[in-house]
Structure 1
Amino acid sequence: MWNPLNLFRRAKTEEPPPMVLVPPLFDFPPLPARTRMLESAYNTLFGKIPLKCLFEDYFEDAGHFSTRILLKPIDDPKVDLVATIAGPLDHKPDERIAGNALFRWQRDIDDPNTFVDLFVSNSDPILRVRSCAYYPKYGFGAFGTFPLLLTKSPTFSNDFGILGLRYGSGNLSFGASAAPFSSIDELPRIAWLVSRMGRVTAGVQYEPIYENVDGAKYKNLMNWSCAIGYGVGTGSPLSPSFNFNLEFARSSEFIASFYQHVVVQRRVKNPREEKDVVGITNYIDFGFELHTRLDDPNQPEDGKLGSESTFQVAASWQANKNLLVKGKVGPLSSSVALAFKSWWKPSFTFSISATRDRMTGTVAHGFGVRIENLREASYQRADPNFVMLTPTKEHQAEGMVWKMGNRPMFQSDLNSGNFESLPRELRPYEKIL
């Protein structure tokens, strides 16, 4: 028998499920991750890349401006160009506007570890070439940096060019670099060994900067550094992460750092979205770093007076895909930054920061503009599988196989570490140690 209530029930069951917006991060993966294979793994692990981004990005120098353009051609996404112009807001005789550009080619759009880039600048080095070749199947790689044009004669080993070899897997990384064309006796220039066991990462690095002890630099403990860290998380921006690290640098400095990336969800009623959108994902980052001298801070080191202990604390909150708020506090100054991003093609980001000097009590501002199409907002739409953290009856709705574009995204996949169905910008960038 025909029942008119059947039509009502069928329409009710076919309603789309409640969804939570998943906006893209402003800058992920971070730009320093593209060139980490040129650096010692010791210098890029232990939370150093995310802490650097948290403490520096969008905090412009007081009284200065910066403009950055990051572009790649549509027909060849393997190449890109990054150009930067920065300088003082007011004319200062002792400062000039700095400009540079970096042209980069990489072998595969999904593999940033094999590349060649060409750097030009109006300051040293005027012209520089860097290259890296890494073979994931074997874990071995080679890298080099070659300054081709300088304004003055080479004085440091870096000015003569650097060559290095490395090995990297999921749990082990070691390597060394040298300056083979330099007459300065530094062999190796730097060497490192880092290992990961579960959630604990430990590493040691040798960098011969200080004088010999008993005829050898390696006997001088000032040339050695070691660190240990505890980390939780996958490296994807959709997954919360936690990182705590302790480092003894050059046997004279103790560094303790903490970084946490939090993925939270809040309810939202946006008239521009459909009624089935009930919430939005927010990203909150918090970092702390403490530097303490282990030797006498009044003793001079390398001709300079030692510095006392210092610290800095920073936090950021990305409310949606367009708005980012950051702040940091230190013993000498405190800063706040506000960034607005429009995800056009290319995207446009405007930022303003204010820095208060605690010694003089003055406040100075900085401005920044970025134009970019390196990272795409291909995942800013709603995802029905990201339910609100506080469950309600509306989360029992059917239709958990709805898709974002052509790619389904399941919370269970993220928890298990399966990122194959995610866009490239959402996958972890730390696949190798």
Structure 2
Amino acid sequence: MGNYLVKEPPPPMVLVPPLFDYPPMAARVRMLESSYDMLFGKIAMKCLFEDYFDKAEEFSTRIMLKPIDDPNVDLIATVSVPMDHKPEEKIVGNALFRWQRDVDDPNTFMDIFVTNTEPILRMRSCVFLPKCGIGAFGIFPLLGKKRISSENLGTIGLRYGSENLSVGATITPFSHNMPSSVWLVSRMGRLTTGVQYKPDSENKDGANYNDLRNWSCAVGYWLGSSSPMSPSFNFALELARSNLVKNPLEENEIVGITNYIDFGFELNTRIDEGEPSSGVQESSFQVVTSWQANKNFLFKGKVGPLSSSLALVFRSWWKPSFTFSISAVRDRTVGNTALGFGIRVEDLREARYQRADPNYVMLTPTKEHLAEGIQWKVGSKPMLQSDIDSENFESLPRGLRPTDKIL
């Protein structure tokens, strides 16, 4: 009888915390954008350099909700208020309602955006047929106080996308520039190249394909996987106009926890000696790093020649989840330091630790061996490091799988 009272200790496990924001919110509307503007690491760089660095001396809050009864729709509402708010200053508020045909396919959707700035009401829609790789999309400002430019009348576009090729064009009705953009992007192994024609919207002379200032080109080298479980390396050059750590807060059987570390470097420089146009800086660079220590804490730092920023983000994975961020911006040109705050409430993503299967037994049941092998609970069987290295992601949770193969 004594044998029945002896409880075997639980096997050691490795935790895999959910990422704060994956896939990126920008990936939900990528079919409305030129593939040239979305590839070459631009989504990842935008998230790394901008997310959670709240605007100085401003308080912002964002609520993201998805109903349980219909996961194909969601609502995002944001409000931004200056900390030294004056009666004559406007509080900016907006809301975005989105419907998509398939929970796992964000490429066919429709959303309606309403705000107290310009445009007041906007609708966007996209239809993409993955079997033939053809898609059509449109952006339609429905209400506005004034329509002073052709972009206020809307944009429509056509595109073709496959695993190794993307080509498309956008047209702005009644515009002097027809088309408003054309792109071609191709992937050959780990190398991605692209070219885009995008004339100046303020040019009244119409399209001019001979003006090299209307053309942009880029080349990128990509190594790894788009899954955050696999380390990746991205290098991009554009000529444009315009590991395991001990977690002391978990139980004894938790032998390690996966961390997520990102590092980015961005350099912009002019190559002509002409007069700089408005809004174009001569040269600039930025270095940024991000460290998600566990499922609750994210640290980010950004350094440039004119300013530096630090951000601390805390996220609770309740239902719905709650995120609080605080950032500090040091402006070295005036010697001033300012703080920004943000609050987000979300009910859009799956969020939970992944743990090893308690019924799985290693041939050499030691903590060291198990930590090196890295097991994750992914349904009925564990996921081993060998599967990650071979890019076998089929049984991973949706948020940790690679994005689809449409270029």
The answer to whether the 8 A contact 2:378-2:395 is kept is: no
Separation in 2, partners of 1:383, 1:335 = 37
Separation in 1, partners of 2:220, 2:19 = 25
Q: How far off its partner does 1:93 sit? A: 6.0
Q: How far off its partner does 1:415 sit? A: 2.3
State the partner residue of 2:183.
Answer: 192
Secondary structure at the aligned position of 1:294 is classed as coil
Separation in 1, partners of 2:224, 2:179 = 34
Secondary structure at the aligned position of 1:246 is classed as strand
Asked whether 1:176 is paired with 2:144, we answer: no
Secondary structure at the aligned position of 2:259 is classed as strand
State the partner residue of 1:382.
Answer: 355
The answer to whether the 8 A contact 2:52-2:327 is kept is: yes
- Give the 5 Å matches for 1:60-139: 60-92=54-86, 95-139=89-133
State the partner residue of 2:361.
Answer: none
State the partner residue of 1:282.
Answer: 259
Q: How far off its partner does 1:308 sit? A: 1.7
Range with bigger deviation, 16-25 or 38-47: 16-25
Superposed CA offset, 1:60-107 (max 9, x none) = 111011101010100000000010111211124664211110000000
In structure 1, which of residues 57, 60, 63 is the aligned counterpart of residue 51 of structure 2?
A: 57
Range with bigger deviation, 124-133 or 14-23: 14-23
Asked whether 1:347 is paired with 2:321, we answer: yes
State the partner residue of 1:19.
Answer: 13
In structure 1, runs of 5+ residues without a counterpart are 254-263, 386-390
Residue identity in the other structure for 1:382: R
Secondary structure at the aligned position of 1:203 is classed as strand
Q: How far off its partner does 1:160 sit? A: 0.9
Identity %: 63
The answer to whether the 8 A contact 1:88-1:96 is kept is: no
Asked whether 1:157 is paired with 2:134, we answer: no
Range with bigger deviation, 241-250 or 207-216: 207-216
Separation in 2, partners of 1:300, 1:402 = 53
State the partner residue of 1:265.
Answer: 244
Residue identity in the other structure for 1:284: I
Superposed CA offset, 1:176-200 (max 9, x none) = 01013x2x22111111000001111
Secondary structure at the aligned position of 2:217 is classed as strand
State the partner residue of 2:240.
Answer: 249
Q: How far off its partner does 1:418 sit? A: 2.5
Q: How far off its partner does 1:175 sit? A: 0.4
The answer to whether the 8 A contact 1:353-1:365 is kept is: yes
Separation in 2, partners of 1:401, 1:46 = 32
Residue identity in the other structure for 2:172: A
The answer to whether the 8 A contact 1:277-1:382 is kept is: no
Change (3 A) 1:216 1:70: closer
Separation in 2, partners of 1:237, 1:210 = 37
Secondary structure at the aligned position of 1:141 is classed as strand
Change (3 A) 1:96 1:310: same
In structure 2, runs of 5+ residues without a counterpart are 359-363
In structure 2, which of residues 276, 284, 291 is the aligned counterpart of residue 310 of structure 1?
A: 284
Q: TM-score, normalised by structure 1?
A: 0.86
State the partner residue of 1:293.
Answer: 270
The answer to whether the 8 A contact 1:113-1:132 is kept is: yes
Secondary structure at the aligned position of 1:53 is classed as helix
Residue identity in the other structure for 1:162: T
Q: How far off its partner does 1:235 sit? A: 0.8
Q: TM-score, normalised by structure 2?
A: 0.91
Q: How far off its partner does 1:165 sit? A: 0.6
- Supply the RMSD in Å over aligned alpha carbons: 2.8
In structure 2, which of residues 220, 232, 238 is the aligned counterpart of residue 229 of structure 1?
A: 220
Superposed CA offset, 1:137-179 (max 9, x none) = 1111111000000111x23222111111101111110000101
Residue identity in the other structure for 1:177: T
